[in-house]
Structure 1
Amino acid sequence: MRVATFDRIEPAMPTQLPANISQTCSQRTAFVLLVLLVPFAFAAALATISLVVAILSPETRTALFSQPLLAAEIATAFALVAFLVALPIKRLLDRLLTTRAVSIEDAGVTVIDNGYFITETWFEPLTAFVGVAPHMRATLGATRHEIVLVHPKRGKSILLSVAAKASPAELDRIAHMLGQPVVAASELYRFRNRAPGFSTARLPDPSHA
């Protein structure tokens, strides 16, 4: 689940282990997203209805059958519009209906994700994480400062703190508490997943063959 889904954390910052963190999204943020989404969804619905009405016309169907390339272009455009509408709707549902409970102990991190269809529970040892990263995220109203426990799989990174400002001392304290190094925010976006058996070992030098 995306770290950006949540913007409310209780407590605001973990102070000791074990730490239990509750993560949700503010209803105000979800309402703003809904207001922005409604006009876009309405326009997309009108465009879809117009397209369906046009396709039902015998003349249009004849033209599409005689020009397969044009039909493919229309189908691609329709799929793109559907994707552009479905993505923000999913993000909105995530914010409205999804919560996360995080429990951090010496042994590792247990996460319970409550979604609108399923509840997922997973565990990762602290040794599986890369480090603790400071991160700045631009939101609708302001810029928020995050402290994130970074996992090689981006969906398993854990949001530890959200505040108007996070000091280096707070970042160092949390990293020390978790036994993690402080890493750059770019680690959140680094691609690490490789196919099984894939190796990055260097090839032998031909001159020594």
Structure 2
Amino acid sequence: MRRQDFEVIEVSGSPYRLPIVLRQTNSKLSRVPGLVLLVILAALIVGPQVGFAAYAIASPEVRSALIAQPVVAIELALALVFWIALIVWPLRNILFALLSDREVDIRDGEVKVIDRTAFSKTFWRMPLATYEGVAVHVRSSLSGVRQEAVLVHPNKNRSIVLMAAEHIGAREVEELCNLLSLPSAPAERHFGAGAQVSGRENAVAA
């Protein structure tokens, strides 16, 4: 499963006491304008083209004309596919983000994660000892800039955001490191180009 970034990090209980139980989701309100815009564009641009394609298939005269001029038919088909892809792909990404969430449970020397999407539910676990440490990463988005305390794994798809705030100080990082018995790790160990990207190891479909 590909790495999914979440905007909302909900901590059940104290983040500085085991077990650490997290629920990670995305903000629905921030994506509504984009969703509405794409639906309007689909209605204005793709809708008429789909209607014309249906009419062309149903009409013997238009169908005969297109068969007689295959180059025109191919150009129209490519234009239809282009506009559909231009609308459907970002729409798919928005819906995927809205319908995805993650549950994290860290206890007894193990990290357990349940990833849910609209079409699947995946469970995976990793020994806490395989993680390299806790790093602070600065993330920028349309909603602003925030810092994230990340539990860093050599495979960045297995890294976990433990908390997010406007500012995460050295004291908070030290408390997390002491709690998890892990060192502080530089952010580039997780977000650098050398990180592994395979996301299938130790994953079990639930």
TM-score normalised by the chain length of structure 2: 0.71
User: Structure 1's 61 and 43: CA in aligned 2 closer, same or farther, altered over 3 A?
Assistant: farther
Structure 1, unmatched stretches of 5+, are 196-209
SS in 2 for 1:110: strand
- In the alignment, the residues of structure 2 paired with residue 156 and residue 31 of structure 1 have an alpha-carbon distance, to the nearest angstrom, of 29
Q: Which residue of the partner structure matches residue 184 of structure 1?
A: 187
Higher strand share: 2
Shift of 1:64: 3.1
Q: Which residue of the partner structure matches residue 140 of structure 1?
A: 142
Once the two structures are superposed, residues 178-197 of structure 1 have per-residue CA deviations (whole angstroms, 9 ceiling, x without a partner) of 214322246225354499xx
User: Structure 1's 137 and 127: CA in aligned 2 closer, same or farther, altered over 3 A?
Assistant: same
- In the alignment, the residues of structure 2 paired with residue 185 and residue 159 of structure 1 have an alpha-carbon distance, to the nearest angstrom, of 15
Q: How does 1:1-209 map to 2 (within 5 A)?
A: 1-11=2-12, 14-46=15-47, 48-49=49-50, 52=53, 57=62, 58-65=64-71, 71=74, 75=78, 78-178=80-180, 179-185=182-188, 187-193=190-196
Structure 2 counterpart of 1:25, one-letter code: N
Shift of 1:101: 1.0
Shift of 1:84: 3.6
Shift of 1:73: 10
Cα contact 2:157–2:197 (8 A) shared by 1: no
User: Structure 1's 81 and 187: CA in aligned 2 closer, same or farther, altered over 3 A?
Assistant: farther
User: Structure 1's 36 and 131: CA in aligned 2 closer, same or farther, altered over 3 A?
Assistant: farther
Structure 2, unmatched stretches of 5+, are 199-206
User: Structure 1's 46 and 73: CA in aligned 2 closer, same or farther, altered over 3 A?
Assistant: closer
Structure 1 counterpart of 2:6, one-letter code: T
Q: Quote the RMSD (CA, aligned, Å).
A: 3.4
- In the alignment, the residues of structure 2 paired with residue 106 and residue 144 of structure 1 have an alpha-carbon distance, to the nearest angstrom, of 30
Once the two structures are superposed, residues 78-115 of structure 1 have per-residue CA deviations (whole angstroms, 9 ceiling, x without a partner) of 55544443332233223332221100124220001232
Stretch moving more, 44-53 or 159-168 = 44-53
Structure 1 counterpart of 2:8, one-letter code: D
Shift of 1:122: 0.7
Cα contact 2:14–2:20 (8 A) shared by 1: no
Structure 2 counterpart of 1:64, one-letter code: P
User: Structure 1's 79 and 163: CA in aligned 2 closer, same or farther, altered over 3 A?
Assistant: farther
Q: How many residues align?
A: 191
User: Structure 1's 185 and 193: CA in aligned 2 closer, same or farther, altered over 3 A?
Assistant: closer
- In the alignment, the residues of structure 1 paired with residue 52 and residue 152 of structure 2 have an alpha-carbon distance, to the nearest angstrom, of 45
Shift of 1:161: 1.1
Structure 1 counterpart of 2:168, one-letter code: A
Structure 1 counterpart of 2:193, one-letter code: R
User: Structure 1's 163 and 51: CA in aligned 2 closer, same or farther, altered over 3 A?
Assistant: farther
User: Structure 1's 13 and 74: CA in aligned 2 closer, same or farther, altered over 3 A?
Assistant: farther
SS in 1 for 2:5: helix
